[in-house]
Structure formats: C-alpha cells, structure tokens
Amino acid sequence: MRFFQMILLVLFSFCACDTNKIDISNMEVDFSVKRFDIDYYTTMNGSIHDLKSTYPYFFPQEITDSITLSKINNKDEQELFSETQKVFKDFSPFKEQFSNLFKHVKYYNTKFKAPTVVTMLTNIDYDSRVIYADSLLLLSLDVYLGENHRFYNDYPKYIKNKNTKEHLIVDVANEIIKRQIPESTERSLVGKMIYEGKKMYLLDMYLPAISVKEKIGYDTDKLNWAISNEEQIWSYFIEKKLLFSTDRNLNKRFLEIAPFSKFYMEQDNLSPGGVGIWVGWQMVTSYMKHNDVSLQQLLQINELDLFKKSKYKPRK
C-alpha cells in the first residue's frame, strides 16, 4: 500500500491542474520581445547612440559612453553574456510561453495589456530577476542558467533550484499577480497563509500547464513531504494555537523563503520552507471548489471569511 501511495505522491508533484484549462484560442495579445542583452553586449563604439535611443530607460545622464563601453568590454561581463546565450540565444520557445500566460491573464482580466518584454543581464541580481511596470517587463536571464551552473555554486539548494529556465515563466506570472491582488491587512498566521494561497491559486489559473512542483518551487522530496504530512502540519498549527496568532516570528518559520520550515522538531530539515504557503494554497483551492465565485470575487474576499467558508480538510 505504501508503495502505491508514494507513486501517487510523485505523480501529483509533477501533474498540472488540468481542471483549470480554458479555451484561449480566440484570445489576442500584442507584445514584443526586445533583446537588450544581445544589443548591449554586441554594441560597438559607433552604435552607442542607437542603443541609447532604443533603450533610454537604461541610460540615465550619469551613465557616460565611456562607462558603457567599459562595461560592455569587461571580460567577466562578456563571459556572463556568453553563458546566457548558450541557454537563451533562441528565445522563441519562451515567447510562446509568454503569449500563453498573457492570454490567460487577459481571459480573467479583460483590461490587461501585455507588456513589452525586455531581456537583460543584472550580474545575477536574485532580488531583481523580474521587474514588472505595466508597459514593461524586465527579465534578468542570467538568473536562469540552470541550478547546477557554476555561477550558482555558492547559492543554497533551496535558492538555486529556482534558477532554471523552466521556472522563468513562474516568476513572471508571480510579478503580474503581485500587481493584481489587493494588499491584505490580515495579521494572523491563517490570514497570511490564505493571502499567499490566493496568489498560488492565480498561478493555477494563469499557468495551467505548469506542474505543481514548478509553481511552488519545492524540489520533489520537499513537495512530497508537504503532501504526505498535510494533516500533521494542520494539527500542529491547531495544537500550538498558531492559526490566529499575530506573532511576526511565524512569518520566518512558515511563510518566508527558507531551506525548511521551523516546527522546532527533530526532522524539520525534511520540510520545505514556507510550508504555510502550501497549506494556504490548499485552503483557497477548497474554497473555490465549494463556493460559486469568480476569480475577481476571490481576490476581494476577506481572508478570514474565506477560511470560514473553505470547508478545508487536510489530506490524511
């Protein structure tokens, strides 16, 4: 019996949410991809004016031509560009992913206008991997070279397992979602869990073909741990009276990016970081199964009201 349970867990971790698939064949989105990374690192001295005309937002007055040329010709910069080209020289597969994402977003938000996608290098600035500002979406390609790339040797595993080309579209979708979901004033742990769960549910709607594993950003072992221990996690929150606690320390223990969640138990290292996000995702999914509401109504409902109506029951 245990063998078959493990097989089901592995299958679940890689399966996308097929029930969320919609027909976007008639949806139209108009956007372009500009390869600033290529234009920049292949620019010669006489072409700087054209580069600055095409991308004025990258060239404030204090950035002189000599500074630009020095950066372009820097050996380390050129190596970074060369390594990035090995993965992203042909961007057409990713443009197709962007098209599908934007169509899904527009399906649920008719006023959405697809932004211009601009690819760039940021010297592996992890915190600025995607910047979304309505009409522009800036994408740092050097953060997605593969988790085993030598540039990421000093990164912890829970960080670099997201440094893959497969995770790129998830990060893009997350940035769009951040701009769409209203800020929450909830201070309780369960309120914050559900708020994060709303974001994850939007990922389900916007990226139905992407696996659960990729969306949540856990490796397979960590995801399977969360799935198989969902009931125990929930019991822990209840027994320790944490659900309605406003202790900010709970953010670090259960909601923030970390190598593992902190139950203060012997096998904490087996758990994924931010396990509260996983549980919040399950609560929101349960709510949507038991209530006839639109996606926009979901985003507006108070988190505690959602909790009461979710009929959430963790897997045993």
Q: Mark whether 164 and 296 lie in a shared domain.
A: no
pLDDT at 26: 87
Q: Which residues of the chain have pLDDT under 70?
A: 1-20
pLDDT tens for each residue of 195-205: 999 999 999 99
Most distant CA atoms of the chain, gap in Å: 70
Q: Mark whether 189 and 173 lie in a shared domain.
A: no
pLDDT tens for each residue of 168-211: 999 999 999 999 998 899 999 999 999 999 999 999 999 999 99
Cα–Cα nearest to 112, from 55, 57, 173, 56: 173
Residue 257 CA to residue 265 CA, distance in Å, equals 19
End of a domain among 155, 180, 205?
180
Q: Mark whether 48 and 176 lie in a shared domain.
A: yes
pLDDT at 134: 80
What is the enclosing helix (H) or strand (E) of 174? helix 168-180
Q: Mark whether 38 and 166 lie in a shared domain.
A: yes
Asked if residue 98 is part of any domain, the answer here is: yes
- Count of the separate structural domains present in the chain: 2
DSSP states of 133-169 as a string? ETTEEEEEGGG-S-TT-GGGTTS-HHHHTT-STTTHH
Cα–Cα nearest to 234, from 222, 224, 242: 242
Cα–Cα nearest to 119, from 88, 151, 160: 88
For residues 108 and 116, is the Cβ–Cβ distance under 8 A? no
Residue 170 CA to residue 200 CA, distance in Å, equals 10
pLDDT at 233: 98
Q: Mark whether 132 and 237 lie in a shared domain.
A: no
Q: Mark whether 146 and 43 lie in a shared domain.
A: yes
Cα–Cα nearest to 202, from 117, 131, 288: 288
Q: Mark whether 199 and 259 lie in a shared domain.
A: yes
pLDDT at 45: 72
End of a domain among 180, 195, 228?
180
pLDDT at 1: 38
Q: Which domain holds residue 230?
A: 184-309
Residue 173 CA to residue 41 CA, distance in Å, equals 27
pLDDT at 277: 98
Strands in 14-58 per DSSP E: 33-35
pLDDT at 18: 47
Asked if residue 315 is part of any domain, the answer here is: no
pLDDT at 9: 46
Q: Mark whether 47 and 159 lie in a shared domain.
A: yes
pLDDT at 25: 84
For residues 250 and 187, is the Cβ–Cβ distance under 8 A? no
Q: Mark whether 41 and 189 lie in a shared domain.
A: no
Both tokens of 293, joined, read 């509401």
